[in-house]
Amino acid sequence: MAEPILIRGTLDLLILKALAATARNGFEIVAELEARSGGALEIEDSALYQALHRMEQRGLIDAEWGISDNNRRARYYSITKAGRAHLKAESKRWLASATIVRRVLA
C-alpha cells in the first residue's frame, strides 16, 4: 500500500468532521479518522494536538475534561457553531477542488 497522504491544510477539516456527530477525545478522533479512511490516514499525536489547540483558539471547537472509557482523565473536544459553519464552507471548497483536479487528471 502506498504511503498515506495528508494534504496540507486538511487536518483541521478532518478533525471537525470527526467531531460533527459527537464530542471525542484525542484517541477517539484519531480512531474515527483512521476508520473512515480505511486505515489510509496515520495522524501523529503532535500534529493532532497542535491542530486541536489551534482550532480551540479560533473558536471552532470547545474542550472540557472528562473520563474516558478506560477510566482515565481525558480532554473531550466538541464542535462549536462557528466550527460547523467552517466545516460546511471548507467541505464545499475541498470537494469542488477535488472535482477540478479529478477532471484534469482523467
- Sequence-separated (6 or more) residues with CB below 8 Å from residue 23: 76, 77, 78
β-partners of residue 78 are: 62
CA 10 vs. chain centroid, Å, equals: 8
The pLDDT value given to residue 42: 86
Domain ranges (residues) in the chain = 11-105
Residue 4 has pLDDT above 90, yes or no: no
Topology of the domain covering 11-105: Arc Repressor Mutant, subunit A (1.10.10)
48-94 pLDDT tens trace: 999 999 999 999 999 999 998 889 999 999 999 999 999 999 999 99
12-44 pLDDT tens trace: 999 999 999 999 999 999 999 999 999 888 899
| CA–CA distance, 91 with 17 (Å, rounded to integer) | 9
92-106 pLDDT tens trace: 999 999 999 999 999
